[in-house]
Chains A and B, each alone.
Chain A
Amino acid sequence: EAQLVDSGGGLVQPGGSLTLSCAASGFTFSSHWMSWVRQAPGKGLEWVATIKKDAGEKYYVDSVKGRFTISRDNARNSLYLQMNSLRVEDTAVYYCARQYSGYDYWGQGTLVTVSS
Chain B
Amino acid sequence: VLTQSPGTLSLSPGERATLSCRASESVSSGYVAWYQQKGGQAPRRLIFGISSRATGIPDRFSGSGSGTDFTLTISRLEPEDSGVYYCQFYGSLATFGQGTKVDLK
Contact = CB atoms under 8 A, between A and B. Distances in A.
A103 B90 contact: yes
Contacts, number: 59
Nearest to A103: B45
Interface in A27-56: 35, 37, 44-47, 50
A7 B95 CA distance: 24
B91 to A, nearest CB: 9
- Give the interface size class of chain A: 10 to 19
A44 B45 contact: no
A104 to B, nearest CB: 5
B94 A50 contact: yes
Contacts of B96: 37, 44-47
B45 A102 contact: yes
Nearest to B86: A45
Interface of B: 31, 33, 35, 37, 42-45, 48-49, 52, 54, 84, 86, 88, 90, 92-99
